[in-house]
Amino acid sequence: MRNIQVIDGADNCVYDVFAATDAEFDLIFPAGQDIAFIDEVYARGESENLDQAFKLIWERRQAKSQVQGIHGTLFYELEHKKAYYPDRRDEGAVNPNGSRLR
């Protein structure tokens, strides 16, 4: 299982972590990526498979104190964050001027 942290644009978002099987994870995050935006995930065209995968994933919330690693981050309603992750990898994060964040 791999852990996905969900970051939502809602003011009351609590940044939950959910467990996903390898197959579910691969539906959300293309090879080599660990950052995803929900509109791009669904734009790849596997809506029925994604709907089923998310139904199962949402049943597997993990207590943050028990999680051993976050393997991916999924953003909802935060389009402006796309500029910070041009290669959709956390390690590739950049500032607005293009300089690396780390």
Give 26-71 pLDDT, tens digit per residue: 999 999 999 999 999 999 978 999 999 999 999 999 999 999 999 9
Query: Given a cut of 90, is residue 15 above it in pLDDT?
Result: yes
Q: H/E/C letters for each residue in 26-94?
A: HHHCCCCCCEEEHHHHHHCCCHHHHHHHHHHHCCCEECHHHCCCCCEEEEECCHHHHHHCCCCCHHHCE
On average, the pLDDT of the chain sits at 95
Cβ atoms of 67 and 17 within 8 Å: the answer is yes
Average pLDDT over residues 13-29: 97
pLDDT band, residue 102 (cuts 50/70/90)? confident
Cβ atoms of 43 and 51 within 8 Å: the answer is no
Structure confidence at residue 43 (pLDDT):
97
